């Protein structure tokens, strides 16, 4: 039998757990990989600390093997960041150090060992370099189980295998590719009738509680859940138990009932068993729910007549990813491998490799299922702010802007996870349209977290503990200063940084120095404008090394300048492929510590 080949995974046909090997030395990576493959492990490689950060966060290996025996002691902070992140804290770590470890490595390792308090934390072990492979193998076996649980996922049929191969064939028209996907889905599963009917009721001017209750009654699973929720303590109170669907809809409310019904039906279409490695369904739906809730709240604040359409559009904005993962086994790993390797947005990898994106596929499928145009267009455009800003219909424009903003804020908040963590700035015109002034406020985030807790409890979606503290007010003693250009913009990295515990000041001017205080200045110049790098030239020698300067630019305009920079504390990052994981990793290395919010769960 031919062994399964998974792009980016060595030994993809093996049954052992997935391991990540990080080493700056190619020879070390390759020798260890060959040995581990022969021992039935699956292996992914990273040649830099930044690449290791992205691959560990996305692929969630059982074990990270970090080679710190080169002149790279600060890379120990990768392991500490993984341990302290909610998403990756369960990953075990094996540190390969020199026989006499660097003081920083010793200090951080001791702190990490002290933090391992329960079964939720991965194990931690160290070993000195050089070592015998048998010793190395014994260490790994003490940290992870040798075999992975067997998957219940059915192997793809021959027809789907052919369709998957054709998706990467540039000679086949995009329309035919999506038609083939649609035909395959029609044979395997159909979109839930209850959701489609609910859309008709919501869209109709005469939609009412009676019609919605009749729609729910046609689906036994949805009916029983709606009744169960209506009789919970939160809703029942002194009104007694009810058994009638119409009464349940009245008690819950039209909008709440619709949300629960749609979420139930959609999540049942894509159980965790279908997922490919690196694409967990629980976190995917948490992300989608968060986008839907943010989009709906924004539309409510803009006094939209039907904010529930924004909720459905947000919930479905990434739906095109589901069939690519459910039915075509080889497609998703290849797309993820390209996304991680190029550090680009997932939709860009799709467009390069297949000629279309999950947004295009989501639009195609929901249009065929007769969803309202305002929903289908929001799905299609949720990565295209320029197209959104050209829309002439005020209502459609608000819905699409709300979904676009919701997607970015959900990523910045770290609520759920999808296929990348690329953050783009929000155009000033959108902020004005959505009545958001200079950006979202704490009231929006408080509302979203509250609603997310409620929905997740109904849907049996496990949600990590969320504590919503107000953001620290801007002050002088900041960790990070974000300098906007003269055009009014908003970048969601502000939310991401504050959500990760950094004290952030936002300004339009380069601030003065604070002697003895390490800080990072992130400047976002206008596109195409010359970089005023010399503005830092007057820094006193005593302060050199205390300020890290990061410029967010369109990299194609500054490639030559980038190669000419010799200052280690001056970095150019591409604003088009700005990955928040790389930013956090850069700050960890500069501060030589992991910054966490005060409410972080240890």
Rounded Cα–Cα distance for residues 274 and 287 (Å): 18
CA 257 to chain centre: 27
> According to the model, what pLDDT value does residue 212 have?
73
Confirm whether 469 is domain-assigned.
no
Instruction: Indicate whether 431 and 300 sit together in one domain.
Output: yes
Instruction: Indicate whether 99 and 38 sit together in one domain.
Output: yes
Neighbour order of strands in the sheet with 547-553: 504-507, 480-483, 519-523, 547-553, 570-574
Instruction: Indicate whether 454 and 484 sit together in one domain.
Output: no
At residue 523, φ and ψ (nearest 5 deg) are: -105, 135
Least-confidence region, from 203-212, 269-278, 430-439:
269-278
> According to the model, what pLDDT value does residue 257 have?
75
Instruction: Indicate whether 298 and 355 sit together in one domain.
Output: yes
What residues contact residue 522 under an 8 Å CB cut-off, 6+ apart? 480, 481, 482, 483, 493, 550, 551, 552
In this prediction, residues 347-366 reach a mean pLDDT of 95
Q: Which of 541, 538, 551, 484 is nearest to 512 (CA)?
A: 538
105-131 pLDDT, tens digit each: 999 888 888 877 666 788 999 999 889
- Among the three residues 459, 489, 508, which one is the final residue of a domain in this structure? 459
Instruction: Indicate whether 182 and 130 sit together in one domain.
Output: no
Confirm whether 152 is domain-assigned.
no
Tell me the pLDDT band of 556, cut-offs 50, 70 and 90.
confident
Least-confidence region, from 384-398, 461-475, 567-581:
461-475
Instruction: Indicate whether 265 and 235 sit together in one domain.
Output: yes
Tell me the pLDDT band of 345, cut-offs 50, 70 and 90.
very high
Instruction: Indicate whether 431 and 486 sit together in one domain.
Output: no
Q: Which of 213, 220, 208, 202 is nearest to 245 (CA)?
A: 213
295-307 pLDDT, tens digit each: 999 999 999 888 8
- Among the three residues 143, 177, 193, which one is the final residue of a domain in this structure? 143
First to last CA, the chain: 46
Confirm whether 153 is domain-assigned.
no
Instruction: Indicate whether 453 and 484 sit together in one domain.
Output: no
Instruction: Indicate whether 108 and 188 sit together in one domain.
Output: no
Q: Which of 218, 174, 211 is nearest to 194 (CA)?
A: 218
Angle, helices 209-217/254-269, rounded to nearest 10 degrees: 30
H-type alpha helices, 460-558? 493-499
CATH of residue 518's domain is: 3.40.50
> According to the model, what pLDDT value does residue 216 have?
74
DSSP string, 410-474: HHHHT-S--S--B--PBPHHHHHHTT-TTS--HHHHHHHHHHHHHHHHHHT--------PPPPPP
Tell me the pLDDT band of 268, cut-offs 50, 70 and 90.
low
CATH of residue 59's domain is: 3.40.50.2300
Res. 561: pLDDT tops 70: no
**Structural domains in the chain (count):** 3
Rounded Cα–Cα distance for residues 8 and 51 (Å): 13
Omega within 30 of 0 (cis) for the link into 130? yes
Cα dihedral sign, 262-266-272-276: negative
Entry pTM: 0.86
Instruction: Indicate whether 271 and 413 sit together in one domain.
Output: yes
- Among the three residues 143, 178, 213, which one is the final residue of a domain in this structure? 143
Tokens 């194609």 belong to 556
Tokens 């804020």 belong to 409
Instruction: Indicate whether 504 and 446 sit together in one domain.
Output: no
Specify whether the CB–CB gap between 395 and 313 falls below 8 A.
Answer: no
424-449 pLDDT, tens digit each: 999 989 999 999 988 898 899 999 99
Tokens 């219909």 belong to 393
Q: Which domain holds residue 28?
A: 18-143
Confirm whether 517 is domain-assigned.
yes
Instruction: Indicate whether 239 and 187 sit together in one domain.
Output: yes
Least-confidence region, from 68-82, 162-176, 562-576, 578-592:
562-576
Q: Which of 53, 464, 445 is nearest to 282 (CA)?
A: 464
Confirm whether 5 is domain-assigned.
no
In this prediction, residues 1-19 reach a mean pLDDT of 77
CATH of residue 418's domain is: 1.10.3210.10
67-113 pLDDT, tens digit each: 998 888 889 998 889 888 888 888 999 999 988 888 989 998 888 88
> According to the model, what pLDDT value does residue 475 have?
43
Confirm whether 9 is domain-assigned.
no
Least-confidence region, from 81-90, 486-495, 553-562:
553-562
In this prediction, residues 243-256 reach a mean pLDDT of 74
């Amino acid at each position: 039998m031919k062994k399964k080949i998974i792009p980016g995974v060595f030994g993809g046909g093996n049954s052992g757990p997935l391991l990540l090997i990080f080493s700056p030395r190619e020879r070390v990576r390759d020798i260890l990989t060959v040995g581990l493959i022969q021992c039935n492990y699956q292996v992914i490689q990273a040649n830099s600390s930044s690449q290791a950060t992205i691959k560990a966060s996305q692929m969630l290996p059982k074990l990270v093997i970090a080679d710190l025996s080169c002149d790279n002691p600060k890379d120990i902070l990768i392991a500490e960041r993984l341990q302290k992140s909610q998403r990756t804290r369960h990953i075990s770590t094996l540190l390969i150090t020199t026989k006499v470890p660097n003081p920083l490595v010793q200090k951080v390792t001791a702190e990490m060992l002290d933090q391992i308090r329960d079964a939720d934390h991965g194990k931690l072990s160290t070993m000195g370099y050089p070592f015998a492979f048998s010793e190395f193998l014994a260490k790994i076996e003490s940290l992870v189980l040798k075999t992975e649980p067997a998957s219940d996922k059915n192997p793809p049929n021959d027809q789907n295998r052919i369709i998957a191969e054709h998706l990467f064939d540039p000679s086949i028209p995009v329309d035919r590719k999506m038609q083939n996907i649609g035909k395959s889905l029609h044979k395997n599963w159909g979109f839930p009738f209850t959701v489609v009917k609910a859309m008709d009721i919501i869209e109709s001017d005469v939609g009412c509680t009676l019609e919605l209750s009749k729609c729910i009654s046609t689906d036994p699973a949805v009916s029983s859940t709606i009744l169960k929720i209506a009789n919970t303590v939160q809703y029942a109170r002194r009104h007694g138990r009810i058994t009638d669907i119409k009464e349940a809809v009245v008690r819950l409310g039209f909008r709440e009932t619709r949300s629960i019904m749609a979420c139930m039906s959609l999540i049942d279409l894509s159980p965790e068993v279908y997922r490919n490695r690196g694409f967990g369904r629980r976190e995917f739906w948490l992300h989608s729910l968060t986008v839907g809730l943010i989009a709906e709240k924004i539309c409510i604040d803009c006094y939209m007549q039907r904010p529930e359409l924004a909720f459905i559009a947000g919930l479905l904005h990434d739906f095109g990813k589901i069939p690519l993962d459910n039915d075509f086994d080889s497609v998703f790993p290849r797309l993820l491998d390209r996304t991680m390797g190029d550090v680009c947005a997932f939709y860009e990898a799709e467009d390069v490799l297949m000629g279309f994106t999950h947004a295009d596929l989501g639009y195609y499928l929901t249009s065929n299922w007769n969803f309202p145009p305002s929903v289908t267009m929001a799905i299609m455009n949720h990565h295209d702010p320029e197209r959104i800003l050209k829309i002439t219909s005020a209502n459609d424009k608000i819905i699409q802007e709300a979904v676009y903003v919701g997607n970015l804020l959900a990523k910045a908040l770290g609520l759920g996870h999808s296929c990348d963590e690329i953050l783009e700035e929000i155009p000033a015109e959108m902020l004005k349209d959505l009545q958001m002034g200079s950006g979202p406020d704490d009231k929006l985030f408080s509302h979203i977290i509250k609603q997310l807790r409620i929905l997740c409890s109904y849907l049996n979606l496990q949600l990590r503990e969320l504590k919503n503290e107000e953001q620290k007010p801007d002050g002088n003693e900041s960790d990070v200063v974000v300098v906007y250009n003269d055009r009014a913009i908003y970048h969601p990295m502000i939310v991401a940084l504050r959500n990760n515990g950094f004290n952030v000041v936002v300004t339009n001017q380069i601030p003065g120095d604070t002697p003895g205080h390490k800080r990072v200045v992130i400047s976002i110049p206008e596109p195409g404008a010359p970089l005023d790098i010399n503005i830092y030239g007057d820094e006193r020698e005593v302060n050199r090394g205390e300020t890290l300067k990061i410029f967010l630019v369109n990299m194609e305009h500054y490639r030559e300048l980038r190669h000419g920079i010799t200052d280690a504390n001056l970095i150019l990052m591409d604003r088009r492929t700005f990955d928040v994981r790389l930013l956090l990793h850069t700050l960890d290395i500069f501060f030589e510590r992991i910054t966490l919010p005060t409410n972080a769960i240890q």
